Structure 1
């Protein structure tokens, strides 16, 4: 068996693992990434594209911001279209200057991969049989196979950045973790197309026909979503039918500007809320989707992962540079505070903007639930104080200071 040594083993080469690795390397903390799939497969995942200010600042701190700053689109606000009424949430004005940036997760991942390669940092792609060992002991290690060779990676700490289906969370004994979950009774049908976006900012739409979202990846690439039943199939939505339905759910002026074209990716994603507590077990620390999932409403998934990265990175720096061996014991407590803020906001946005088909929603009949949601939207959208609450959460709660 081949034996390798490092300070921090990172499981997963998605944006969370890559960003953590880059930040640690800049502080002289050795790290190796182990990823079960190929680099091309990782880059093929179509994911989020709205980055909170905190995430943008973290990418800049990692020194991987050149293309993001050049090609990313800063959004000062977004629209909510509500049964024919249109409201603009002016993020910049309502939050004393904070904004979000539209820059695709695929682009962030590509930039981080290039930076890691250029820095000569080690990543083992297509690793199989990954097992985390002795995570509650003094000498944790990871075993895996790579290119047919058995490998052992000795380390001080393990960062589990390998997503919901990875090995990291499952390494925590089932009786030592609590999992909170809510599955939503619908999904999002998403289409990516090389067409100019219908608007320079996102439009969230609540209509009699269901939810829709007009989003973008660049000035020439659009991302659109429709709420559909969980039982629906992509095959039921040829491009012409998708565009026709989208026009019916967009505000009339936006529908008139819509440029259609062939889809280059089309999929249906179920919506759910999920949190695993605690987010650490011994020398193992869960990051991003390994610990929590949010509905995409409100654009919090990737951004919550970034705040996990920020917290773990700063605590590891304290551990190695200040010899504060107790610092990491605070990780789960700190991370979960922000996670639950994001989960609550995504849950709230999903309740406000979607149509629920069940006869019972939240312990009440559908008609009563819908009246409560209409009243909720009326209050928040028609009062500046309500818009401030939405804006503050949309741009992201501030990262907690690590003393």
Structure 2
């Protein structure tokens, strides 16, 4: 089988890329190692930047998002029992974010791909990317018990940190940058309406907490816990009690409780792989970079990557110029490093390290006080949170 673009991975990056290429008249084939049910149920990100929302709408994938997604015009920061709201539109010229789960983005894009796009193979495990720096790279994969080869003009690895795409780049040509954090997030899904109509980021001496949501009836909440924590070590009552303590304020706000339907622990780290291109192999999303979740950047960075690639390949077809393809890695990495910086800033401002000193605590409080008193500081946060430009 032959195609112009072989895409490894049917997460939001791979599916959106297939959609963008289809709209541009460029054929592709998507290979996904998991089954469809797994992809559509995999809980991940839930915050879409303004640019991501705009891209999905332009790609014809925004109808249900616009109907069911929750537009948020700000976030609330809490510390020392005080509350401060950051107003996004007032600080960014009208930009906002939308709460719409990654699972729902994938469902929408899968339905469109199966109806209008090129081949999408589930339970098709990519085994290797061969000859990535040649004129016709190949993806060797296993599907329905048989090994096959997909011949491509280009390969895009949207297959995450553990995928095969990144391993096809010779190690001597790469550099990686990493920071591991000594804490994790215990996340829960609960069948209870959110206790606030926007996200709440809380810095507390006992650790960070985040109030988020998936819908008007389902809450998504997180607690900072030690790295290596087993989610089952926490009873439901203990989770709610700790959340209530970390979100406490001096007014009459209360945390609503309900049945917890899911618990999981997410490790925290920052990681970047350079370059993001080798020959005709391009990396996108978690195959090239990982951010701690406090900045809500993971899915949105992946969208930026595939938009950049789709534009570059369309430019190559229309003009014959390789200029934008050659610039893919540095173009993406400029945005990646700004997102890494912002995510690092949010993480270190809001989480209490195990070895934190009184000086560290005072610095965190000073940073939060600055946000509450400086429009310039608020604007920097609002611009970064609602999204860095995709062009």
Whether TM-score is above 0.5 comes out as: yes
Provide, for residues 180-236 of structure 1, a one-character-per-residue CA deviation record: whole Å limited to 9, x for no partner. 000000000000112101111000000121100000111011100000001321111
Counterpart pick for 2:7 among 7, 10, 14:
10
Query: Helix, strand or coil: the match of 1:251?
Result: coil
Provide, for residues 270-322 of structure 1, a one-character-per-residue CA deviation record: whole Å limited to 9, x for no partner. 10000001010110110000000000002111111111111111101101222
Counterpart pick for 2:285 among 261, 284, 288:
288
* Residue 392 (structure 1) aligns with: 383
Indicate conservation of the 8 Å contact 2:22/2:117, yes or no.
no
Indicate conservation of the 8 Å contact 2:81/2:247, yes or no.
no
Counterpart pick for 2:211 among 204, 209, 214:
214
2: CA distance, partners of 1:129 / 1:300: 26
For residue 36 of structure 1, report the CA deviation from its aligned partner: 1.1
In the alignment, structure 1 residue 30 sits paired with structure 2 residue 21: no
* Residue 88 (structure 2) aligns with: 91
For residue 26 of structure 1, report the CA deviation from its aligned partner: 0.7
* Residue 302 (structure 1) aligns with: 299
For residue 269 of structure 1, report the CA deviation from its aligned partner: 0.6
Indicate conservation of the 8 Å contact 1:248/1:255, yes or no.
no
In the alignment, structure 1 residue 338 sits paired with structure 2 residue 329: no
Tell which deviates more after alignment, 158-167 or 313-322: 313-322
* Residue 78 (structure 1) aligns with: 75
Indicate conservation of the 8 Å contact 2:74/2:198, yes or no.
yes
Provide, for residues 322-351 of structure 1, a one-character-per-residue CA deviation record: whole Å limited to 9, x for no partner. 222333010001000000000000000000
Indicate conservation of the 8 Å contact 1:6/1:156, yes or no.
yes
* Residue 365 (structure 2) aligns with: 374
Counterpart pick for 1:49 among 46, 49, 55:
46
Tell which deviates more after alignment, 151-160 or 35-44: 35-44
Indicate conservation of the 8 Å contact 1:50/1:104, yes or no.
yes
Provide, for residues 348-398 of structure 1, a one-character-per-residue CA deviation record: whole Å limited to 9, x for no partner. 000000001126xxxxxx332222222222223211111111111111111
Tell which deviates more after alignment, 109-118 or 231-240: 231-240
Provide, for residues 157-202 of structure 1, a one-character-per-residue CA deviation record: whole Å limited to 9, x for no partner. 0011001111111111111110100000000000011210111100
* Residue 275 (structure 1) aligns with: 272
> What is the TM-score of this pair, normalised by structure 2?
0.97
Tell which deviates more after alignment, 79-88 or 116-125: 116-125
* Residue 227 (structure 2) aligns with: 230
Indicate conservation of the 8 Å contact 1:210/1:226, yes or no.
yes
* Residue 180 (structure 2) aligns with: 183
Query: Helix, strand or coil: the match of 1:185?
Result: strand
> How many residues are treated as equivalent by the alignment?
391
Indicate conservation of the 8 Å contact 2:202/2:246, yes or no.
yes
For residue 37 of structure 1, report the CA deviation from its aligned partner: 1.2
Alpha-carbon RMSD across the aligned residues, in angstroms, is 1.4
Q: Cα 1:57–1:253, aligned 2, differ >3 Å: closer, same or farther?
A: farther
Map 1:97-116 onto structure 2 (within 5 A).
97-116=94-113
Indicate conservation of the 8 Å contact 1:157/1:283, yes or no.
yes
1: CA distance, partners of 2:7 / 2:252: 45
Q: Unaligned regions of 5+ residues in structure 2, if any?
A: none
Q: Cα 1:242–1:282, aligned 2, differ >3 Å: closer, same or farther?
A: same
* Residue 203 (structure 1) aligns with: 200
1: CA distance, partners of 2:14 / 2:192: 31
* Residue 158 (structure 2) aligns with: 161
Query: Helix, strand or coil: the match of 2:257?
Result: coil
Runs ≥4 residues deviating over 4 A: 253-256
Query: Helix, strand or coil: the match of 1:23?
Result: helix
Query: Helix, strand or coil: the match of 1:355?
Result: coil
